[in-house]
Amino acid sequence: MRVEDIDTVLELFEAVAAERRYIGTEPGFDRAVYRARLAARVDDRQRPSFVARIDGRLIGHLSISQHHEFGPTLGMMVAAEYRGRGVGRALLQQACAWATAAGYPLSLLVFPHNHAARGLYRSMGFLEVERFERDAVRANGEVWDTILMRKTFS
Ligand SMILES: CC(C)(COP(=O)(O)OP(=O)(O)OC[C@H]1O[C@@H](n2cnc3c(N)ncnc32)[C@H](O)[C@@H]1OP(=O)(O)O)[C@@H](O)C(=O)NCCC(=O)NCCS
């Protein structure tokens, strides 16, 4: 991800947040905070971000954060109209290459109903480690479980 990608990544993030189904963040998040977070990681080799483009258009993003408990933890998204074409797999392959070189395991949290994401992660060798019941409070008052998945590379 380059500095000039940040606005487009934010737009993608807003669109996926507006689906209110797949990622923890929902509409109304503080854009300035997310912008600063993205900017801080552009040159950060410990927290890399990857983007996917088709015909020059940015349509996917994956970032790795350092979670205080789980270590390197990824979040990813593909624009709705480009899903199911191998973009997510390509992004995840980049993240796995980074983790292999760095010698870190990779973790993530996924909602149980997110079958596409769980299928992708499982097909790439991620294992479901733990289910956290009633872990994520949603804007509509619902509370969803999350599943911790992890892949080790040693
Ligand atoms: C999850 C997501 C990133 C996957 O990206 P994608 O580009 O659609 O996935 P791909 O086309 O690379 O699919 C890779 C694999 O995922 C699985 N998969 C994809 N869509 C699926 C679906 N609808 N149901 C079940 N498995 C699915 C399959 O194993 C697939 O491999 P195959 O095509 O060889 O069968 C994308 O759906 C997305 O952005 N969703 C909204 C945001 C999100 O859920 N982020 C992750 C939060 S944990």
Q: Encode the chain (154 residues) as per-residue pLDDT tens digits.
A: 999 999 999 999 999 999 999 999 999 999 999 999 999 989 898 999 999 999 999 999 999 999 999 999 999 999 999 999 999 999 999 999 999 999 999 999 999 999 999 999 999 999 999 999 999 999 999 999 999 999 999 7
- pTM of the predicted structure, to 2 decimals: 0.96
Domains of the chain listed by start with CATH number? 3-151 (3.40.630.30)
Q: Check: CB of residue 94 under 8 Å from CB of residue 53.
A: no
Of 78, 107, 66, 84, give the one whose Cα is nearest residue 13.
Answer: 78
Q: What's the gap in Å between 17 CA and the centre of ligand 1?
A: 16
Q: What's the gap in Å between 116 CA and the centre of ligand 1?
A: 4
Instruction: Give the span between the Cα atoms of 61 and 81, in whole angstroms.
Output: 14
Residue nearest to atom 15 of ligand 1 (CA): 120
Ligand 1 site-directed mutation target among 78, 122, 128, most atoms within 8 Å of CB: 78
Counting atoms of ligand 1 from 1, which one is nearest the CA of 111?
48
Q: What is the pLDDT of residues 27-65, one digit of tens each?
A: 999 999 999 999 998 989 899 999 999 999 999 999 999
Instruction: Give the span between the Cα atoms of 59 and 79, in whole angstroms.
Output: 5
Residues with CB under 6 A from ligand 1: 16, 22-23, 76-78, 83-89, 108, 110, 114-117, 119-120, 123
Contacts (Cβ under 8 Å, ≥6 apart) of 40: none
Question: How many CB atoms lie under 10 A from the CB of residue 149?
Answer: 21
Counting atoms of ligand 1 from 1, which one is nearest the CA of 79?
39
Among all chains, which residue has been given the structure tokens 């933890």? 73
